[in-house]
Amino acid sequence: MKPTAHRPKIAVIGAGWAGLSAAARLAGRADVSLFEAGKQAGGRARMLAGNQAGFSFLDNGQHIMIGAYHGLLSLMQLIGVREQDAFLRLPLQWHLADGLQFQAASLPAPLHIAFGLLKARNLLFGEKIRLLNDMHALQQYHASPLPDISTAEWLRERNVSRKLTGNFWQPLVWGALNTPLEHAGLRTLCNVLQDGVWSSKEGSDYLLPKQDLGSIIAEPALAFLAEHGATVHLEARVARLANLPDGRVAVNGQSFDAAVLAVAPYHAAALMPSETPAAVLSAFNAIRYHAITTVYLRYAETVHLPAPLTGLAEGTAQWFIHRGALGLPANETAAVISLSDLIGRLKPEEWAARVHADLKTLCPYLGEPLAARVITEQRATAAATVARTLPDLSWLHRRRIYPAGDYLHPRYPSTLEAAVQSGLSAADVCHNDCCGIKNAF
Per-residue pLDDT tens for 49-73?
888 889 999 999 999 999 999 999 9
| Residue of 206, 170, 192 lying closest to 309 (CA atoms) | 206
Both 240 and 303 in one domain: the answer is no
Residue 318 three-state SS: coil
- Tell me whether the omega of the peptide bond preceding residue 110 falls within 30 degrees of 0, making it cis: yes
**Where a domain ends, among 382, 401, 419?**
382
Cα–Cα dist 234/14, whole Å: 10
The answer to the question of residue 63 being in a domain is no
| Residue of 142, 140, 92 lying closest to 120 (CA atoms) | 92
Q: Please report, for residues 48, 114, 285, 312, the alpha-carbon distance to residue 347 in angstroms, rounded to integers and kept in the order given.
A: 19, 42, 28, 22
Return the CATH number at 366. Answer: 3.90.660.20
Both 109 and 196 in one domain: the answer is yes
Q: Please report, for residues 150, 410, 419, 422, the alpha-carbon distance to residue 185 in angstroms, rounded to integers and kept in the order given.
A: 5, 13, 19, 20
The answer to the question of residue 339 being in a domain is yes
117, pLDDT greater than 70: yes
| Residue of 103, 106, 155 lying closest to 131 (CA atoms) | 155
195, pLDDT greater than 60: yes
Across the chain, how many H-helices and E-strands are there? 16, 18
**Where a domain ends, among 342, 365, 382?**
382
Cα–Cα dist 238/82, whole Å: 33
DSSP 165: I
436, pLDDT greater than 90: no
| Residue of 190, 179, 82 lying closest to 137 (CA atoms) | 190
Confidence of residue 437 (pLDDT cuts 50, 70, 90): low
Both 282 and 326 in one domain: the answer is no
440, pLDDT greater than 80: no
Both 186 and 333 in one domain: the answer is no
Find out whether 307 and 95 touch, Cβ atoms under 8 Å: yes
438, pLDDT greater than 60: no
Return the CATH number at 257. Answer: 3.50.50.60
The answer to the question of residue 40 being in a domain is yes
Instruction: Give the model's pLDDT for residue 4.
Output: 43
Q: How many domains does the chain have?
A: 3
1, pLDDT greater than 80: no
Both 40 and 184 in one domain: the answer is no
Portion of the chain with pLDDT greater than 70, in percent: 98
Both 371 and 397 in one domain: the answer is no
143, pLDDT greater than 50: yes
pLDDT in tens, 8-27: 999 999 999 999 999 999 99
Cα–Cα dist 261/402, whole Å: 6
Both 255 and 308 in one domain: the answer is no
The answer to the question of residue 272 being in a domain is yes
The answer to the question of residue 341 being in a domain is yes
Q: Please report, for residues 51, 58, 178, the alpha-carbon distance to residue 182 in angstroms, rounded to integers and kept in the order given.
A: 40, 33, 12
Cα–Cα dist 58/334, whole Å: 9
pLDDT in tens, 278-336: 999 999 999 999 999 999 999 999 999 999 999 999 999 999 999 999 999 999 999 99
Instruction: Give the model's pLDDT for residue 403.
Output: 98
Find out whether 135 and 186 touch, Cβ atoms under 8 Å: no
Strand 258-261 and strand 401-403: pairing? parallel
Cα–Cα dist 428/434, whole Å: 10
Both 196 and 131 in one domain: the answer is yes
Instruction: Give the model's pLDDT for residue 441.
Output: 28
pLDDT in tens, 249-264: 999 999 999 999 999 9
Mean pLDDT of 205-218: 97
Find out whether 12 and 262 touch, Cβ atoms under 8 Å: yes
Amino acid letter, 109: A
The answer to the question of residue 295 being in a domain is yes
Find out whether 359 and 335 touch, Cβ atoms under 8 Å: yes
Confidence of residue 6 (pLDDT cuts 50, 70, 90): confident
The answer to the question of residue 80 being in a domain is no
Both 188 and 114 in one domain: the answer is yes
Find out whether 369 and 401 touch, Cβ atoms under 8 Å: no
Both 162 and 244 in one domain: the answer is no
Domain containing 348: what range?
289-382
Instruction: Give the model's pLDDT for residue 196.
Output: 93
The answer to the question of residue 64 being in a domain is no
pLDDT in tens, 164-190: 999 999 999 999 999 999 999 999 999
Q: Looking at the DSSP assignment, which residues form a beta bridge with residue 256?
A: 249
Both 234 and 155 in one domain: the answer is no
Mean pLDDT, the chain, whole residue set: 96
Cα–Cα dist 342/183, whole Å: 13
**Where a domain ends, among 171, 201, 231?**
201
pLDDT in tens, 385-418: 999 999 999 999 999 999 999 999 999 999 999 9
Portion of the chain with pLDDT greater than 90, in percent: 96
Both 35 and 183 in one domain: the answer is no
Q: Looking at the DSSP assignment, which residues form a beta bridge with residue 232?
A: 34
